[in-house]
Structure 1
Amino acid sequence: MQVDTVKISKFLSYILRHKPESIALKLNQDGWVEIETLLAQANQHGKKLTRAVLEHIVATNDKKRFTISRDGTMIRAAQGHSSQQVNLDYSQQVPPEFLYHGTATRFLDSINQQGLIPGTRHHVHLSDDQKTAAKVGARHGKPVVLIIEAQKMAELGYHFYLSDNQVWLTKDVPIEFIKQ
């Protein structure tokens, strides 16, 4: 039997980031859930998922979207949550001088009016390199990379966090700190 790892990865992102309740799953406030519980609930809701497949997806996901606990019993999404079950307590980090945000040109009017806002997610996602930001932007249309004056923001009291998979997070980015 061939396993569609892309489809399962998307399912895991949906469950662990956005709608755990869709398979009657309860995440703790840090986004963790017992792997055995996740497997049981996924299978009960028609998603054939084994521990081996799960571990393969975690190990090979190019974006490192998932984290397995050190003791190997729990899993969570590294970042990107919109679920109200999750309230990750990241420790504040000092960002580099510049961070980057990839988006599509069709969103520029809105960004130029209100800055970067998290929308349904808990944070705005930023990367420390332009290549990654360009890939993110390309997923949404014609890409554009915005330069964020992160160090200036931090000096003025804005908080930055670094997720398990090295994505920079902040609550919002006002337009005065965005350069094109």
Structure 2
Amino acid sequence: MNEIENKRISKFLSLILRHQPETIQLKLDENGWAEVSELITKSAKGRIHFSFEDLEEVVETNNKKRFAFNDDKTMIRASQGHSIDIDLALKTAQPPDFLYHGTAESNISSILDKGIEKRSRQHVHLSADKETATKVGMRHGKPVILTIRTKKMNDDGIPFYLSANNVWLTDFVDAKYISK
């Protein structure tokens, strides 16, 4: 499969597994898992054709590890980033002292005033390194990297979770924990 086709399938999977499974009448369980055979069949009916081998390649080569199979590869789900109500069954984790959030320069005044909200997502996403945060920020305009005092947040009783693809998640970041 070429890179363009891989990206096209990946974007489609993000839409279906994170936001709109109803687009192809796909059923997700309470933890966001879908049957692989049902995904392939219903995607084809929706005119997005791919094989199990193509799906494996997309999952294995996705640089952000957005998708995961269960152990026997009969089920698939998005690792995080959902706007639909599912329970990823994440366990709390001890974050490092600092994490990073990439955003566009146009969002800075609002963030420094109101904090970082999850908005339509289930969690706020934070990165362990500035490089990843920069890439995230670039998607929205001129990037600005914010440093989040996550140890202090955690010491104050705010829980953190680490997704299967190593994205740090929390429910909200109050402005008092943010530095530019």
| TM-score band, normalised by shorter chain | over 0.9
In the TM superposition, what are the counterparts of 1:140-155 in structure 2 within 5 Å?
A: 140-155=140-155
Match for 1:165: what amino acid?
N
Q: Which ranges in structure 1 are unaligned for 5 or more consecutive residues?
A: none
1:100 aligns to what? Answer: 100
Give me the CA root mean square deviation: 1.1
Higher deviation after alignment, 106-115 or 11-20: 106-115
The alignment status of 1:159 with 2:132, answered yes or no, reads: no
CA deviation vs aligned residue, 1:115-165 (integer Å, no higher than 9, x gap): 000110000000111111011101111001000000000001100000000
1:12 aligns to what? Answer: 13
Q: Which ranges in structure 2 are unaligned for 5 or more consecutive residues?
A: none
CA distance in 1, matches of 2:52, 2:89: 27
Higher deviation after alignment, 45-54 or 118-127: 45-54
> How many residue pairs get matched?
179
CA distance in 2, matches of 1:105, 1:164: 29
Moved over 6 A (4+): none
CA deviation vs aligned residue, 1:49-85 (integer Å, no higher than 9, x gap): 211111010011111100011111110000000012x
1:122 aligns to what? Answer: 122
Match for 2:129: what amino acid?
D
1:134 aligns to what? Answer: 134
Q: CA deviation at 1:89?
A: 1.8
CA distance in 2, matches of 1:26, 1:177: 39
CA distance in 1, matches of 2:39, 2:49: 11
For residue 76 of structure 1, give the secondary structure of its aligned residue in structure 2.
Answer: strand
1:22 aligns to what? Answer: 23
Q: CA deviation at 1:87?
A: 2.0
TM-score normalised by the chain length of structure 2: 0.96
